Amino acid sequence: MRLLLSLALVTSLSLSQAFAQSKPTGVSPNVQEAISQSVEQWLGGRFKVTAIAATPMPGIYEVQIGQDLFYVNEKASFAIVEGQMIELKSGKNLTAARLEEISRIDFNTLPLELAMKTVLGDGGKGKRNIAVFEDPYCSFCRRFRATLMELENVTIYTFFYPILRPESVTVSRNAWCAKDRQQAWDDWMLSGKEPPAAQEPCNYPQAKITELGRKLNVQATPTSFVSSGKRLQGALGKEAVEASFKP
């Protein structure tokens, strides 16, 4: 959320406030006071409300702080900031929480036979599960692959998901059909060593994996899912991945 991060903006607040106070707002003093108090408390007392104005939507008010605008309800219990709904008392981003909820999947329905299985630590049990969609030409996938290899007590299901370039299909197919699939994929992703050409017959299930990715709305790589169904986007660090396993 971009909201008054420049210290230079603070110096302009007094001028902006003086200008705004000379204009009619269509908001009663009691409502202005309640909104100002709630918003400024949410901001930790670091910034002052410049102006408050009524909007065409009943019960919704425009809040100005310097050159920034956002919207609150009459009691200022909720705010809409850059398309995100925030509960001011707790600071919880309700939009982000909702998006996380609707992006979850049922991990148990994943066709894991289409993925490469890697078990790390805990005597080969790997009790924690994560499924990741990787493209062989995705630099962020390579970084994330290195992070995943640092984990313990985890089973990784890797879907070879070639969406970035035509060569992605070739490398994915060759690695899938290699004598040692794990070694071939890791050699490429971690060391840049290309897998040998696949020998026929090679049954790389590209169409099924591509269809699965579309069904799950996997639009970029790496995209991952932990056993709770939570979606992880991008090359997260080890701490973030570890945190995602927690209930």
Torsion of CA 100, 106, 159, 154, to 10 degrees: 90
Domain extent at residue 206: 107-244
Global pTM value: 0.72
Residue 18 belongs to some domain of the structure? yes
Closest to 38 measured CA to CA, from 24, 52, 56: 52
Residue 1 belongs to some domain of the structure? no
pLDDT in tens, 96-123: 888 888 889 999 999 999 999 999 987 7
Residue 2 belongs to some domain of the structure? no
Pick from 66, 93, 120: which residue ends a domain? 93
Question: How confident is the model over 85-93, as a mean pLDDT?
Answer: 90
Do 78 and 118 lie in one domain? The reply is no
Residue 100 belongs to some domain of the structure? no
Q: How many domains does the chain have?
A: 2
Dist CA 201 CA 183 (whole Å): 20
pLDDT in tens, 66-88: 999 999 998 889 999 999 999 99
Kind of pairing between the strands at 84-87 and 92-93: antiparallel
Pick from 58, 93, 128: which residue ends a domain? 93
pLDDT in tens, 119-160: 998 777 889 999 999 999 999 999 999 999 999 999 999 999
Do 116 and 211 lie in one domain? The reply is yes
User: What is the DSSP track for the chain?
Assistant: ---S--HHHHTTHHHHHHHHHTS-----HHHHHHHHHHHHHHTTTSS---EEEE-SSTTEEEEEETTEEEEEETT-SEEEETTEEEETTTTEEHHHHHHHHHT---GGGS-GGGSEEEEESGGGT--EEEEEEE-TT-HHHHHHHHHHTT-SSEEEEEEE---S-HHHHHHHHHHHTSSSHHHHHHHHHHH-PPPPPPPSS----HHHHHHHHHHTT--SSSEEEETT--EEES---HHHHHHHT--
Dist CA 247 CA 240 (whole Å): 13
Do 83 and 157 lie in one domain? The reply is no
Q: Both tokens of residue 10?
A: 């603070």
Do 119 and 183 lie in one domain? The reply is yes
Do 116 and 32 lie in one domain? The reply is no
